[in-house]
Amino acid sequence: MSLPGDLRMDIEFHFWLGMSVLALAGMVWQGIRH
């Protein structure tokens, strides 16, 4: 399965954006709990 370069980069960007948001939310959640 091959994707156009720009689409693949867009998916990659959203993937990393989502991971960053999850990591940030996790740190905030830990801060609230303790």
Give the global pTM. 0.59
What digits encode the pLDDT tens for the residues 1-34?
676 788 888 999 999 999 999 999 999 999 998 7
Rg of the chain (C-alpha set): 15
Give me the half-sphere count of Cα atoms (radius 13 Å) on the Cβ side of residue 34: 6
Question: In this predicted structure, what is the pLDDT of residue 34?
Answer: 77
